[in-house]
Homo-oligomer: A and B are copies of this chain.
Amino acid sequence: MSTPATRLRADARRNVEGIRTAALDVFRERGLNSPLEEVARVAGVSKGTIYHRFGGRKGLIEAVVEELVAERIRGIGTAAGEIADPVERFEHYLREIWLLQYDEPAVNDVLLRSLPGSEPVAVLCEHARETAARFLAEAQATGVVRADVTPEDVDLLIWERGIIARACDQQPREGYRRRLEYTLRGLRAAV
């Protein structure tokens, strides 16, 4: 992958780069299910070339997912990690992930696992998952977050938010954000 066995021809190299760039733009804007023809159009290339060079949607996604998504997800984990209070840390993490799902359709698609069988994507998912589970456990240890919440619950709350964010096209961000708080409060133990 890093050093292709046979060096590409100049036009091919140009196209690979152009397609990657176009995919970054289009996917960022409309998510990983954008029509490949749109990517081709933006890249100034025909869709056949995308299939040729990347083998199809899956290959193309794998070629951009790191740059497109990884940083965003890991950034949230890191930022949250610096918060001292475990409850605040857990809630901050979830809230930021949920907002990211609203703001970045591509990230959302990754977290929703809409691409079965793509290893790089699965890895990113797993990372978010594990981070959430860790923060959850720490928050539960304080007694402020309900003990009966399972890591799987959190997974599914992220999944649910993803489904909603996807449908939220016309809905204002502020309302979306507002309702996140209800769910977060619901995870706290009754005092």
A residues near B, CB below 8 A?
149, 152-153, 156-157, 160, 163-164, 167, 171, 175, 178-179, 181-188, 190-191
Q: Find chain B residues with CB under 8 A from A156 CB.
A: 171, 175, 179
Pair A160/B179 contact, Cβ less than 8 Å:
yes
Assembly stoichiometry (copies): 2
Q: Find chain B residues with CB under 8 A from A164 CB.
A: 160, 163-164
Q: How far is the CB of A167 from chain B (nearest CB, A)?
A: 5
Q: Find chain B residues with CB under 8 A from A179 CB.
A: 153, 156-157, 160
Q: How far is the CB of A105 from chain B (nearest CB, A)?
A: 15
Q: Find chain B residues with CB under 8 A from A163 CB.
A: 163-164, 167
7 additional A-B residue pairs with CB within 8 Å, beyond A163-B164, A182-B186 = A149-B182, A153-B182, A157-B179, A160-B179, A182-B187, A185-B188, A186-B186
Can you show 17 pairs from A to B with CB atoms below 8 A apart?
A: A152-B175, A153-B182, A157-B182, A163-B163, A163-B164, A163-B167, A164-B164, A182-B183, A182-B186, A182-B187, A183-B183, A184-B186, A185-B185, A185-B186, A185-B188, A186-B186, A191-B191
